Structure 1
């Protein structure tokens, strides 16, 4: 069975690995030169950077399983730290870190030892956890995260220091318009599960090397093909039930096309919509649904200092305050993750539409000034080099009650795979991987069907 997978993001790579493992002949198409889609390596001034700094969770079971299957050494590829939300001392934040105790004692220990939270804040957090567990982390009717926090009587300080940054990091959508149910799903599988599930996993390698490159090698080793710089121009069903894929790219030559038994559309929602619209008239409604997703951006600013510059922790949370030019939400010390990047700091802004409106030089200067002020290190105001990278369509806005399609399209042999498909998770690496695995499972069962 020959299967085409269009798009080498984490969903496409997950589908490719699962199908190759199942004995299918896989051909992976990627229009860019680097694998990884919206979580990939980029080359800037001779440096290998990411188009966005990410944190994974111990709860990302499918991602970790497939990374290991593809030959990734998880211990060397990821830095594992306990659940934490740690602000720089004296910055007006808090210091919350879970001890290595069995669940739920690790959360109780973190709460008792937390600094920067008052008694009301701690009681508020305990009440949230207890109530969410009692509700089995499920809402009868979805609402915004802000409304959920109001219902649970969360204190303004806890919202500012804990819930808002967690919501932005997990859903890439501000709490006032983010889905409370999806937020609870993430908390259920991390805070509400085993201690290891709540661990935070920080990539040491670039995002392409972390999984997509290994996935491509796995596909090739199992008899498949990987075409980079190859854009799928169209897909079309054939009378015999197979699919024709037309693609363009320097390596393919003019007029390239091939016939496949099935196709997995694993490009972004908007790119997949264009292919669906041309594939069959009755898929227009599905294409319109995908085109209707509102994009959310993620911005990462890289600041290079001397190689001796090092933070006290691998990463800190930051209090963002755009009115004062403080846009950063987290800062990562890349030198503590990769010795070859000593002195390189990465500042992350989720849901960064407003920040991205600034010029690159202006935003980089503002973020450097923020670090100098918050970390009380004046030298950080003057980096030797900087670069701002904004992924404008990093995710979709994860709104309450958002309609998300199944993997099956209704046409035999044509499936969707992407972080936007129906599932518990928002547009995270794990959400994408789970979707890719689900699409592959339907094909491995031999007869794709609507869920």
Structure 2
């Protein structure tokens, strides 16, 4: 296997690749252009506060993410709040209350559906038929289509689409249902509604996203004799007598490119893969906005998080609200509100959007005081994910060049742009290089 390996980019894909390579005995150098590790799922410091650049939910089905967290020493029980699969709206907001009990699958889903409040029998039968049909189809389509087309094809009710399918699609794919890939959506449902009970659990991080994995990954890499270089942008990559040269001096036996597509395309062009570089130019992107609202420390929600009914015409932009104080005792009174595919919401401007979100919470929760937060911060990731559209071509980890692999949540996968798809891609890239190294020896 390769002795010296460079990993360019310390997002979750790059950190995962670096950890796997270090554990396999490679001497790893991890490069990150930013000062903070984690890429698009990281901690940021804002006015002396440590916040995440976006609120995340993981699933129990994220096997590779959980495996690598354990490998770098993260205590999963302490690091995340484990909740059963649920879609719960505030009482009196016109939503529903759907909670899967802790029973073996598929009994947990059947009982959750039977007990669900806010759904008519027609809605429940519609969901049961869809779930049964999707299982029979093994969660696969012969030809991809939009999520909206899929839901119409299988007779899903308008209320079920509004309260269940649309928010799930936005949360998982960060793409509106009318443009989102039905096949990728089915893969997400397979590992949530269609999964074993533990796999369908929803995991809410108690640690900030950098501490949840990237920082521990860096510590493991260094403990194995590797190096982590933050604030070190790699702008040049070229073959050099059977090795790879980064910049003017450093050479490595192998390289993992784990940057976003535009930066990856530039490096691939220099490396001698112009066709692959050009193929990365077709991605479109969707933003995600997280609005943080600070109230007096004793302010709490009845649950750790709620789904919200978003309606642009009513000025209701929030889709989920999280009580951060129930996840981290040092963040009492801090709520985070997530807006996926947030392009239209962002046009309001930060101050207007924060006020609209605060007023939405006050109205739907029946608590007028929430319209007046003590402090607000709006964080938008303009290119949070690629738009997960039907039939989207995604590149493989292999580049066609010896000793050079690609990693990122945008590489070929049945998952959308999630933490798990990034981790899986990083692991696949690392294993590709270590397999090649073993063959050489």
**TM-score, with normalisation over the residues of structure 2?**
0.98
Tell me what 1:257 maps to: 249
Q: What is the CA–CA distance in structure 1 between the aligned matches of 2:43 and 2:257, rounded to whole Å?
A: 22
Shift of the alpha carbon at 1:285? Answer: 2.2
CA-to-partner distance for each residue in 1:256-278, whole Å, 9 max, x for gaps?
63000011000111111121122
Q: Helix, strand or coil for the counterpart of 1:231? A: coil
Q: Helix, strand or coil for the counterpart of 1:301? A: strand
Q: Helix, strand or coil for the counterpart of 2:199? A: helix
Pairing of 1:207-218 with structure 2 (within 5 A): 207-218=209-220
Confirm whether residue 245 of structure 1 aligns to residue 246 of structure 2.
yes
Please identify runs of 4+ aligned residues in structure 1 that moved more than 6 A. Answer: none
Q: What is the CA–CA distance in structure 1 between the aligned matches of 2:193 and 2:124, rounded to whole Å?
A: 15
Pairing of 1:132-143 with structure 2 (within 5 A): 132-143=134-145
Q: Helix, strand or coil for the counterpart of 2:228? A: strand
Tell me what 1:253 maps to: none
Pairing of 1:17-416 with structure 2 (within 5 A): 17-238=19-240, 240-246=241-247, 257-280=249-272, 283-416=273-406
CA-to-partner distance for each residue in 1:34-87, whole Å, 9 max, x for gaps?
100000000000001011000000000000000000000101110000000000
Cα distance change of structure 1 residues 99 and 229 upon mapping to structure 2, 3 Å threshold: same
Q: What is the CA–CA distance in structure 2 between the aligned matches of 1:15 and 1:162, rounded to whole Å?
A: 35
Q: What is the CA–CA distance in structure 2 between the aligned matches of 1:287 and 1:297, rounded to whole Å?
A: 23
Tell me what 2:12 maps to: 10
- Contact 1:11 1:419 (C-alpha < 8 Å) held by counterparts: yes
Q: Helix, strand or coil for the counterpart of 1:331? A: strand
Structure 2 stretches lacking a partner, 5+ long:
none
Q: Helix, strand or coil for the counterpart of 2:54? A: coil
Q: What is the CA–CA distance in structure 2 between the aligned matches of 1:23 and 1:286, rounded to whole Å?
A: 29
Q: What is the CA–CA distance in structure 1 between the aligned matches of 2:279 and 2:317, rounded to whole Å?
A: 32
Q: Helix, strand or coil for the counterpart of 2:235? A: strand
- Contact 1:442 1:448 (C-alpha < 8 Å) held by counterparts: no
- Contact 1:406 1:416 (C-alpha < 8 Å) held by counterparts: yes
Q: What is the CA–CA distance in structure 1 between the aligned matches of 2:336 and 2:125, rounded to whole Å?
A: 34
Q: Helix, strand or coil for the counterpart of 1:345? A: strand
- Contact 1:412 1:448 (C-alpha < 8 Å) held by counterparts: no
CA-to-partner distance for each residue in 1:151-203, whole Å, 9 max, x for gaps?
11000000000000000011010000000001111111222221000000000
Q: What is the CA–CA distance in structure 1 between the aligned matches of 2:359 and 2:275, rounded to whole Å?
A: 48
- Contact 1:243 1:263 (C-alpha < 8 Å) held by counterparts: yes
Q: What is the CA–CA distance in structure 1 between the aligned matches of 2:180 and 2:437, rounded to whole Å?
A: 35
**TM-score, with normalisation over the residues of structure 1?**
0.96
Q: What is the CA–CA distance in structure 2 between the aligned matches of 1:448 and 1:403, rounded to whole Å?
A: 30
- Contact 1:7 1:30 (C-alpha < 8 Å) held by counterparts: yes
Q: What is the CA–CA distance in structure 2 between the aligned matches of 1:285 and 1:325, rounded to whole Å?
A: 45
Shift of the alpha carbon at 1:415? Answer: 0.6
Shift of the alpha carbon at 1:448? Answer: 10
